[in-house]
Amino acid sequence: MKVAILRTKNRNDSISIGALVIQDELTREGIAVAYCDYQTAHNFTHVLVSMTSTLDVFDIYANCRAANWQTRRFTAFVGGFGCQNPMALAPYFDFAFFGRVDGIISDYLRHPEKYSQHSFHFSNPHPVQLRQVTQCYPHTVIYGKNSVRWKEKIIGCPFRCKFCHYSHSRKYVGDGSFMNDQISASAEVMLKDIPAMDHKPGRITTALDGYSERLRFLYGKRITWDMVEEAMDFLASFKGNTFLKLYNITNFPTETDTDCEEFHQFWKQYTTSTIKADGRVVVDVYNTAFRPSLNTPMERCEATLFPEARCLPNKTYIAEQNGFAIKFTHNTKGAWSHLEDLISIRYTDPSVIEYIATNQQFSKLNNKEKLEQFNKMFDISPYIRSYTETEQLNYKVFTT
């Protein structure tokens, strides 16, 4: 076997952690693993491609086509967390693996048919189940330009929010908390765990995911305003500045202006009434629109793409007083990237994927004129609607 992992262009030629784990396991078993690009892939017998995000499908599609992967003599494998519905990649790949492949990778590469329960053969499509593991990968891998030593501490998430691929696609392994401070300058931590931190990093990333308690509890994210208050009190009690990146989901089904108002009122009241210690606490709210993943209870729910996610213009302060600054950072890609995302998850129609992959029009559609021009070329109206539970995809990959 001559095995290579593809450096994907849309990720700055980087190798995902998942791919590094696979490389590590193969190397430990005496199988050399090289890196390749779309052209040099033709020099190998087995080429492995990791999808980090579902959006990777557009870039992979365009590059595989340009590098003639449809005439390949190697066996092409795709997998990874973003590999949710890769049907459009059928001309360029032989197998797609769903779930965790660590523990079996070398045998899988030699005998992919043996693993048909989790491995999807593009020339003979059939529903598959996600493969799960019961323990974290036991070895350390070296990640990124800064050669960070990364060791897996958690898989999945115990909370099972009704829209979240992260918890529904990976069986949870961990101790009930989540803290990822290994590869990013900003420590990722669950909001409920902030008050229990033994130190306060300068930069923290967490998620609220819903303007109101009603929305959060409806969709499984059980965070009360009291919990937010407790987390903020903890951050404010330290000397020195804190930058909190707070992810929030907007455009949930049933969301109204009242939900949005509850969010604004909370921050105004909190920053008015709290007693702040030294330092400044800046909360940057990153709004993204609701995009339910496949294989979750909400996978067929209506996703409203327009109007764009409810948020104020760039860097608008919701509240700024008593040492706190709460502001929105506008998602400049807005609804267009959400539409790309929805198409990459729910639709596998190669002609749509190809259109986006080769024209890359969506991200450029930032004004009315361009939008009208675009609408003449490609009618998006069939995609902006409700999706019933029973509606057929052109292929449903998962079984549960």
Q: What residue ranges bind ligand SF4 (CB under 6 A)?
A: 157, 159-161, 164, 166-167, 207, 209, 221
Q: Given the structure tokens 């989790």, which residue do they identify?
A: 118
Least distance (Å) from ligand SF4 to the CB of residue 207?
A: 6
Find the distance separating the first CA and the last CA of the chain, reported in whole Å: 33
Least distance (Å) from ligand SF4 to the CB of residue 168?
A: 8
Of 211, 209, 210, 189, give the one whose Cα is nearest residue 200.
189
Distant-in-sequence, close-in-space partners of 144: CB < 8 Å, separation ≥ 6? 14, 183
Least distance (Å) from ligand SF4 to the CB of residue 164?
A: 3
Least distance (Å) from ligand SF4 to the CB of residue 165?
A: 8
Of 56, 21, 11, give the one whose Cα is nearest residue 143.
21
* Nearest to ligand SF4 of 131, 221 (CB atom): 221
Question: Is 51:87 a contact under the CB 8 Å cutoff?
Answer: no
Least distance (Å) from ligand SF4 to the CB of residue 157?
A: 3
Of 12, 70, 16, 21, give the one whose Cα is nearest residue 41.
70
CA count, 13 A, side-chain hemisphere, 189:
21
Least distance (Å) from ligand SF4 to the CB of residue 158?
A: 7
Of 290, 296, 288, give the one whose Cα is nearest residue 164.
296
* Nearest to ligand SF4 of 167, 242 (CB atom): 167
Burial of 181 (0-12, 13-18, 19+ CB in 10 A): middle
Least distance (Å) from ligand SF4 to the CB of residue 166?
A: 4
Question: Is 174:193 a contact under the CB 8 Å cutoff?
Answer: no
Distance CA 375, CA 369 (A): 10
Least distance (Å) from ligand SF4 to the CB of residue 191?
A: 9
60-79 residues labelled b (16+ CB within 10 A) or e (exposed):
bbbbbbebebeebebbbbbb
* Nearest to ligand SF4 of 279, 297 (CB atom): 297
- Around Cβ 87, how many Cβ atoms within 10 Å? 20
Question: Is 55:81 a contact under the CB 8 Å cutoff?
Answer: no
Least distance (Å) from ligand SF4 to the CB of residue 93?
A: 28
* Nearest to ligand SF4 of 159, 234 (CB atom): 159
Distance CA 46, CA 240 (A): 51
* Nearest to ligand SF4 of 121, 162 (CB atom): 162
Least distance (Å) from ligand SF4 to the CB of residue 320?
A: 28
* Nearest to ligand SF4 of 161, 187 (CB atom): 161
Distance CA 243, CA 316 (A): 16
Question: Is 122:96 a contact under the CB 8 Å cutoff?
Answer: yes
Find the DSSP H helices in 202-329: 213-218, 225-236, 257-273
Least distance (Å) from ligand SF4 to the CB of residue 254?
A: 18
* Nearest to ligand SF4 of 157, 282 (CB atom): 157
Question: Is 60:49 a contact under the CB 8 Å cutoff?
Answer: yes
